[in-house]
Amino acid sequence: MPCGEDWLSHPLGIVQGFFAQNGVNPDWEKKVIEYFKEKLKENNAPKWVPSLNEVPLHYLKPNSFVKFRCMVQDMFDPEFYMGVYETVNRNTKARVLHFGKYRDVAECGPQQEVDLNSPRTTTLERQTFYCVPVPGESMWVKEAYVNANQARVSPSTSYTPSRHKRSYEDDEDMDLQPNKQKDQHMGARQAGNVGGLQWCGEPKRLETEASSGQQLSSLNLSSPFDLNFPLPGEKGPACLVKVYEDWDCFKVNDVLELYGILSVDPVLSILNNDERDASSLLDPMECTDMAEEQRVHSPPASLVPRIHVVLAQKLQHINPLLPACLNKEESKTCKFVSGFMSELSPVRAELLGFLTHALLGDSLAAEYLILHLISTVYTRRDVLPLGKFTVNLSGCPRNSTFTEHLYRIIQHLVPASFRLQMTIENMNHLKFIPHKDYTANRLVSGLLQLPSNTSLVIDETLLEQGQLDTPGVHNVTALSNLITWQKVDYDFSYHQMEFPCNINVFITSEGRSLLPADCQIHLQPQLMPPNMEEYMNSLLSAVLPSVLNKFRIYLTLLRFLDYSISDEITKAVEDDFVEMRKNDPQSITADDLHQLLIVARFLSLSAGQTTLSRERWLRAKQLESLRRARLQQQKCVNGNEL
């Protein structure tokens, strides 16, 4: 354990120390950041920081140092706060300077009040992100982070005396401040309003926060607070994240690891409630719009806590088995990475065998599934995303649980995934595209608001005859655009905004998919187990956890390898293409050559080779030849195109 726990349990005390030493000199802010950076470099220090992903909110102490692994779901407008403010003692008239950074509420001592007219008051700006847990994060990822975390926490009763052990998922009761508790607070803190700034007698508010998110029956607003998770069934805390530095470096859908100060002061809910009461004096229509925006932007802190960010980094991946940073240069010098690369060949062979069993004995389909799972968009040429490799596995048995269990296998291998059951009802009723709600001034999430490297498995075997209505057609179009262009057009009512993405799409279908795919492989089962669930369960239980972890490392690590083709091999490929065209001009097109190069790329990377060799090129041609022959054979059997 890092020596001295004050930085974990009382980080604001550390900040106060730097502020007291430096006063209004802005250097104190840099010193605070450097201090926490150095603390986190100490032996295993990050593991001692409590995580909002693993620890229920009621176990965390208010104003303690926490971390959060999340995706930026929305970005709110910048807000102003009092960076430095001065308090005056009502009796002695003594003046004290305070900092407002990393705080929602201005703390004052007894007999003190904020001097809002002080010339030493400084107004600064901060950005607010609305962050949610990583959508589709696999259970093995969550478990690995839980097992690695060594933070010592116990239930906190310092701020929720009437709600001992209330989980952050219990959002059905929105009246989070019982009257008795409210009266206790208001006895010590008399609310008031000075110059447009809300404040409390003891402590004072720093800024205008919005509504309480409590029962707003008088305004006919929905009372349960929607946490706006992109995927159904997701659990965990959503957070309002206050960012003070370099917020331009982050964008919507980025996955971040945040370290900061937890703010769950119940006074926020009381103030928001008072603000709601005051707003009822306004024009009813204006009041409704304003209250809805306030409800969304300032939900109860006990439901959506605030994190004041001290340090933030963008995560390249969320695989807990690998170092967080896998840049090209760093991965070359990392002992763990170089050690794993030296034993890549047996890992690939074992993974191929494992997936062959999962695909009912079809080793060719298993080869293509490996290539798909390590594929990633490595660059964009104009609007064309290079490196995407959407695979359509056709020939999947209908009225079977095969596709469901195949997805379970994929879930055990990748860090984040989602299975979209492509039924007429789902296509017509589910929200795929995020859209802007101008009344609440927020981005309402949709199924396709996913972070990079998420595996999206689309199950077409469930599709029955039926009529797609207008939303259904739009959803199919959205999926097609995602697959073809690796982008999602978010709906901003008056216009659409392109959001580039990098999502691995794998389609299971009986015949050829209705959706576009880069590669169709027809499944040829070598066995058909009578009990699919029992077969797949035994397959998973037969794999040692250590071997399964190697598969997980393998599939994540290979996405980050660099790749190139030498001039010599480029010339050989060109000559090969010309030769094939000479023998039969119809046998290969420019698109076919592009497909071959993609297969050759990921085939090389799957063997740990960062350059294309003659051997891998020939193997890519062989795989493509076998795949095409199989499709042709199936076409002849069925008498029509798959």
* CATH for the 331-560 domain, from 3.40.50.300, 3.30.465.10, 3.40.120.10, 3.30.470.20: 3.40.50.300
Tens-place pLDDT, residues 463-497: 988 999 999 999 999 999 999 999 999 999 989 99
Residue 244 DSSP class: -
Q: How far is CA 184 from the centre of its chain?
A: 39
Residue 172 — very low, low, confident or very high, per pLDDT cuts 50/70/90?
very low
Contacts (Cβ under 8 Å, ≥6 apart) of 244: 29, 101, 102, 126, 308, 309
- What SS3 class is residue 225? coil
Task: Place 5 in a pLDDT band, splitting at 50, 70 and 90.
Answer: low
- Residue 278, pLDDT > 70, answer no
Measured CA to CA in angstroms, residue 614 lies from 567, 611, 622 at distances of 12, 10, 12
270, pLDDT greater than 70: no
Q: Per-residue pLDDT averaged across 581-607, rounded? A: 90
The mean pLDDT value of the chain amounts to: 85
Q: What is the mean pLDDT of residues 152-164?
A: 51
pLDDT, mean of residues 186-192: 35
* Whether the Cβ atoms of residue 479 and residue 528 lie closer than 8 Å to each other: no
DSSP single-letter state for residue 292: H
Taking residue 424's Cβ as centre, other Cβ atoms within 10 Å add up to 16
The pLDDT-based confidence of 269 (bands split at 50, 70, 90) is low
Task: For residues 109 and 71, give the distance between their C-alpha atoms in angstroms, rounded to a whole number.
Answer: 38
Give the tens place of pLDDT for each residue, 357-412.
Answer: 999 999 999 999 999 999 999 999 988 999 999 999 999 998 789 999 999 999 99
Q: What is the mean pLDDT of residues 22-44?
A: 88
* 561, 341 Cβ separation under 8 angstroms: no
User: Residue 193: pLDDT band by 50, 70, 90 thresholds?
Assistant: very low
pLDDT at position 275 over 90 = no
Could you please report the per-residue DSSP string of 508-560? E-SSS-SS--SEEEE---S---S-HHHHHHHHHHHS-HHHHHHHHHHHHHGGG
Q: What is the mean pLDDT of residues 187-195?
A: 33
- Taking the alpha carbons of 273, 278, 280, 283 in that order, is the dihedral positive or negative? negative
Domain ranges of the chain: 11-151+230-274+281-314, 331-560, 563-641
Q: Are 210 and 272 in contact (CB under 8 A)?
A: yes
Confidence of residue 152 (pLDDT cuts 50, 70, 90): confident
The answer to whether the CB of 476 falls within 8 A of the CB of 514 is yes
Task: Tell me if residue 231 falls in helix, strand or coil.
Answer: coil
**Predicted pLDDT at 141:** 97
- Contacts of residue 523, Cβ cutoff 8 Å, sequence gap at least 6: 359, 360, 362, 365, 393, 394, 395, 396
Q: How confident is the model at residue 583 (pLDDT cuts 50, 70, 90)?
A: confident
Residue 200 has pLDDT above 70, yes or no: no
pLDDT above 70 coverage of the chain, percent: 83
Assign 336 a pLDDT band (cuts: 50, 70, 90).
confident
Does residue 125 register a pLDDT over 60?
A: yes
Query: What confidence score (pLDDT) does residue 24 get?
Result: 67
Asked if 278 and 296 touch (Cβ cutoff 8 Å), the reply is: no
The 10s digit of each residue's pLDDT in 59-81 is: 999 999 999 999 999 999 999 99
| Range scoring the smallest mean pLDDT among 14-18, 40-44, 195-199, 215-219 | 215-219
Q: Is 179 exposed, middle or buried (0-12, 13-18, 19+ CB in 10 A)?
A: exposed
Confidence of residue 291 (pLDDT cuts 50, 70, 90): confident
Amino acid 273: pLDDT: 62
Contacts 24+ apart (CB under 8 A), 39-46: 39/2, 39/7, 40/259, 40/311, 42/2, 43/2, 44/2, 44/150, 45/2
* Residue keyed to tokens 């052990």: 165
Residue 263: both structure tokens together: 């703010």
Question: What is the per-residue pLDDT for 582?
Answer: 85
Where residue 178 falls among pLDDT bands split at 50, 70, 90?
A: very low
Least reliable range by pLDDT among 279-283, 379-383, 463-467, 507-511: 279-283
- H or E stretch covering 312: strand 306-314
Question: Any idea which of 171-175, 222-226, 238-242, 416-420 has the lowest mean pLDDT?
Answer: 171-175
Question: What is the rounded CA–CA span in Å between residue 328 and residue 250?
Answer: 21
The confidence score (pLDDT) of residue 454 equals: 98
User: What does the H/E/C string look like for 367-418?
Assistant: HHHHHHHCCCCCEEECCEEECCCCEEEECCCCCCCHHHHHHHHHHCCCCEEE
537 or 212, higher pLDDT: 537
Residue 487's pLDDT is 97
How distant, in Å, are the alpha carbons of 269, 453, 454 from that of 502? 39, 6, 8
**Looking at 217-221, 413-417, 634-638, which range is the least confident one?**
217-221
At 48 the pLDDT is: 93
Query: Which range, of 78-87, 161-170, 291-300, 422-431, averages the lowest pLDDT?
Result: 161-170
DSSP code, position 310: E
Q: What is the pLDDT of residue 308?
A: 97
Query: DSSP for 330-361?
Result: HHHH-HHHHHHHHTHHHHHHHHHHHHHHHTTT
